[in-house]
Amino acid sequence: MSRLLLIAALLAGISFQFAKDLPPSPGLIAWKGAGVGLLAVWAALRTRGGSDWRLPVMLGLGALGDVLLEAAGTVPGAVAFLAGHIVAIGLYLRWRRSSYGMSAGLAGASGVIVAALGYALTRDAGVAFYAFGLGAMAGSALGSRFAVPLVGAGVLLFVLSDLLIFAKSSLLAESALPGLLIWPTYFAAQALIAIGIVRGLHDRRGTPISVR
């Protein structure tokens, strides 16, 4: 069952790239939310042993953000994503590699860097505030015990996707790159993060592990 859910999630997310420019409709909004939404359900099934409830919650907030961006506008969508980043920071700090202070410091430094990039691209304090949460999420992930090839690549792709969104109204306003890359980098990010964390939360026998 869980394998089928993962396949369905990947198919929904990948196929949306070819439908995203269709006229807005409830069906299109549901399609957009289905990829990460199904990843959240899959993660909930894989973590029901209590390994960490935060993973399905943060993915669920991401799916909510996807839907709200289309149905309610940028600000409600960004609030949902920011809430997801805050949940993710808690997860990554729980599974940190080093001391809490060092991990929190890496998260804070990354937050400042991404916030500065977001503000430079938009001159918008609200964007900078959101970008701080995004960067802190990425920094805390890089300081966690989850596999860098999956989770590390995922969070960096998440940052890239959002920077492309910021640049779409300024530096890349005349470029086709944002339209081509924003959704693929975003969905790849969510999928890599979900798969990487699920693998990290289970031992080689598939048994949930606990914090040491």
Half-sphere exposure of 197 (CA within 13 A, CB side): 33
- Letter string b/e over residues 129-150, b meaning 16 or more CB atoms within 10 A of that residue's CB: ebbbbbbbbbbbbbbbebbeeb
Residue whose token pair is 């918008």:
124
pLDDT beyond 60 at 204: no
Residue 50 has pLDDT above 70, yes or no: no
CA neighbor of 54 nearest in space, from 149, 140, 163: 140
Q: Collapse the DSSP code of 97 into the 3-class scheme (helix H, G, I; strand E, B; otherwise coil) and give the result.
A: coil
In a domain, 210, yes or no: no
Structure tokens that stand for 98 in this block: 């080093």
pLDDT digit string (tens) for 159-196?
999 999 999 989 999 999 999 999 999 999 999 999 99
What's the whole-number average pLDDT of the chain? 93
pLDDT tens digit sequence for 79-127: 999 999 999 999 999 999 989 999 999 999 999 999 999 999 999 999 9
* pLDDT band of 49, cuts 50, 70, 90: low
Q: Are 107 and 136 in contact (CB under 8 A)?
A: yes
Whether 77 is covered by a domain: the verdict is yes
Question: Which helix (H) or strand (E) element contains residue 70?
Answer: helix 54-71
- Split into its structural domains, the chain has a count of 1
User: Cβ distance 45 to 5 under 8 Å?
Assistant: yes
Q: Hey, is 208 helix, strand or coil?
A: strand
The answer to whether residue 212 sits within a structural domain is: no
Tell me, yes or no, whether 56 lies in a domain: yes
Question: pTM of this prediction?
Answer: 0.93
Answer yes or no: are the C-beta atoms of 17 and 184 closer than 8 Å.
Answer: yes
pLDDT tens readout for residues 31-45: 999 999 999 999 999
Q: Left (φ > 0), alpha (ψ -120 to 50) or beta: where does 50 sit?
A: left
* Residue ranges making up the domain that contains 26: 2-200
In whole angstroms, give the CA distance from residue 42 to residue 69: 23
**pLDDT for res 2:** 86
Cβ atoms 140, 106 nearer than 8 A: yes
Assess if residue 126 is contained within a domain. Answer: yes
206 within a domain of the structure (yes/no): no
